[in-house]
Amino acid sequence: MEISRLYWVLVVVAVAVVAYLAQNRKRKTPDDLEQERRVFLDRVGRITDGTVIDVQEMAAEEKRRSAILLIYNYDVAGVSYECSQDVTYLRHWINLHSCRLGLHTSVKYDPLNPGNSLVVSEGWMGLRQ
C-alpha cells in the first residue's frame, strides 16, 4: 500500500512540474519564428531564378514600426509563385533603392513546400545588384 501512495505522489509531482514548465516557458515571437524559417531555408533550400516585382513599405500597426516587403515571383516545376518577404530587419544587407521592377534574383525555396521561400537572409543573398 505504501509503494502505490509513493507512486501516485511522484506522478502528481511530475505532472505539476511539467504543467508549470509548459505554462512558464518563453513563447517564441513572430520575429523568432521568421528567423528560424530563414535559417531552415538557408540549410535545406534549393535555388531557382526569380524576378523582383516591387518593394513596398507597409503602414505601421500600433506597437510595431512599418515593415518593408520585398515582393518577387519565381517558377518551380511549372508552377508560378508570387511571394513577399519582410526585409525590415535585413535592410542593412541590401540596397532597397536598387530593387526595382524586373530585377533578376535567385530564390531559395523549400523543396517540400515550394511556396516557402526567401530572397535574402543573414547568410545568403539572392539579389543581383
Model pLDDT for residues 43-79, shown as the tens digit of each residue: 999 999 999 998 888 776 666 677 888 899 999 999 9
Give the cell for residue 112.
517540400
d(CA 40, CA 105): 20
Q: Is the Cα dihedral 59, 69, 110, 34 positive or negative?
A: negative
- pLDDT score at 62: 62
Side-chain half-sphere exposure of 121, counting CA atoms within 13 A: 19
Residue type, 6: L
Count the neighbouring beta carbons within 10 Å of the beta carbon of residue 89.
14
Residues of the chain with pLDDT under 70: 1, 60-64, 96-99, 129
d(CA 124, CA 108): 9
- pLDDT score at 127: 84
- pLDDT score at 48: 96
Assessment of whether the complete model's pTM goes beyond 0.75:
no
